[in-house]
Amino acid sequence: MIRVGVLGTARIARAFFGEPLQDIEITAIASRNLDRAVQFANEFRIPKRYGSYDDLVADREVDALYIPLPQHLHCEYAVKGARAGKHLLVEKPAALSVSELKQMLSESRKNGVVFLEAFMYRFMKIHQRAKEIVRTGTIGALRYIDFNFGFNIVVRGRGGFRLTKAMGGGALFDLGIYGIDFIRYVTENDPELLQAFTHRGNSNDVDLFTHAVYKVQNVVATLTCSFHTDANYYVLSGERGSITSPVGISGRKITNVLKMHLLEGDKKYEEEFPPENPYKAEMEYFARCIKSGEEPQIGATNSLRNMELLEELQTKSVEI
């Protein structure tokens, strides 16, 4: 049984509770506010609770850490965790820069711990099926990807660290990183950036909207991320047809539908996927990697390439 400690009581940390976890036991929770840690621990029956992240990291009865903290704290506590011999499941984006991420990965290797970046969508059957349809050629050779992920941050009232530059705020870090990873996931190749545009328009100097156009061999891919609009979908277009996921990146336990349209004969199909918990599947995969010693598919190499592409997008994007 892998004993996991959770750093922070963020809403996303709640996703692991309510269903039994295979080979995993969440044994400790930490918050900078002890009362909040105690409340969280009582709600989910977690044995240990700490009023300090460092105290949890120092707990020798914890084997691994889940780090859903604001992005600017990821590097600090991943490094501390690795040095304490803790395996690391770090929320995306894993770091604020390539240099931070390299430090995290170096400490992970040096101390022999597993490093996994938490792209929960990869554990959802709907997206695995979409990739399979592309791979098998059902829609013909893939030619175009349209990935769009945004939410209106004012309407939804989800500001905080997302609008604070020093904390890793901005639509690109929060949402765009999914698009970069998704394009690489579907094509199994690295994209070449052709052009990109960013809009800030706020006193906090964080991006509120970014649109990028990539080329991946014979595929054109567009990525849009935004705090202005509510949109969450992707379209995969091939020479014989297309696939649409009306709900792209979402960890909500809802029924998902994948729509496929084949031009020949104007055939339209829908595949329905029952509600599932990708966070549970992600945590259990993390445990399997720890127990088997295998390199995670979304481990160090994948994370580093994503961050390199994100930094390139930040650097080359034109302000509008």
Predicted local distance difference test score (pLDDT) of residue 157 = 66
Which of 13-17, 197-201, 236-240, 247-251 has the highest mean predicted lDDT (pLDDT)?
236-240
* Residues linked to residue 116 through DSSP beta bridges, in sequence order: 89
Nearest to 120 by CA among 245, 12, 18: 12
Predicted local distance difference test score (pLDDT) of residue 297 = 85
If you average pLDDT over residues 300-316, what whole number do you get? 97
Count other C-beta atoms under 10 Å from residue 246's C-beta. Answer: 12
Ordered by start, the domain boundaries in the chain are 2-119+280-298, 125-275
Predicted local distance difference test score (pLDDT) of residue 11 = 86
184 and 306 Cβ atoms separated by less than 8 Å:
yes
117 and 66 Cβ atoms separated by less than 8 Å:
no
CATH classification code of 125-275: 3.30.360.10
158 and 151 Cβ atoms separated by less than 8 Å:
yes
Q: Is the pLDDT of residue 158 over 80?
A: no
Nearest to 221 by CA among 139, 130, 143, 145: 145
198 and 210 Cβ atoms separated by less than 8 Å:
yes
- List phi, psi (to 5°) of 244: -125, 135
2-119+280-298 CATH pick, 3.40.50.720, 3.20.20.140, 3.40.630.30, 1.20.1250.20: 3.40.50.720
Q: Is the pLDDT of residue 186 over 90?
A: yes
If you average pLDDT over residues 111-123, what whole number do you get? 97
Which of 13-22, 199-208, 279-288 has the highest mean predicted lDDT (pLDDT)?
279-288
Measured CA to CA, the distance from residue 144 to residue 242 in angstroms comes to 9
- More confident: 255 or 133: 133
Q: Is the pLDDT of residue 156 over 80?
A: no
Cα 12 to Cα 8, 92, 93, 179, 192: the distances in Å are: 10, 12, 14, 19, 32
Predicted local distance difference test score (pLDDT) of residue 203 = 67
* Residues linked to residue 257 through DSSP beta bridges, in sequence order: 272
153 and 159 Cβ atoms separated by less than 8 Å:
yes
Lowest mean pLDDT: which of 18-22, 175-179, 200-204, 236-240? 200-204
Lowest mean pLDDT: which of 170-184, 222-236, 254-268, 304-318? 254-268
Angular region, 188: left φ>0, alpha ψ -120 to 50, beta rest: left
If you average pLDDT over residues 112-135, what whole number do you get? 97
Measured CA to CA, the distance from residue 39 to residue 73 in angstroms comes to 23
Measured CA to CA, the distance from residue 207 to residue 198 in angstroms comes to 6
188 and 153 Cβ atoms separated by less than 8 Å:
no
If you average pLDDT over residues 290-315, what whole number do you get? 95
Count other C-beta atoms under 10 Å from residue 25's C-beta. Answer: 14
Q: Is the pLDDT of residue 17 over 90?
A: no
Measured CA to CA, the distance from residue 259 to residue 141 in angstroms comes to 17
Predicted local distance difference test score (pLDDT) of residue 4 = 98
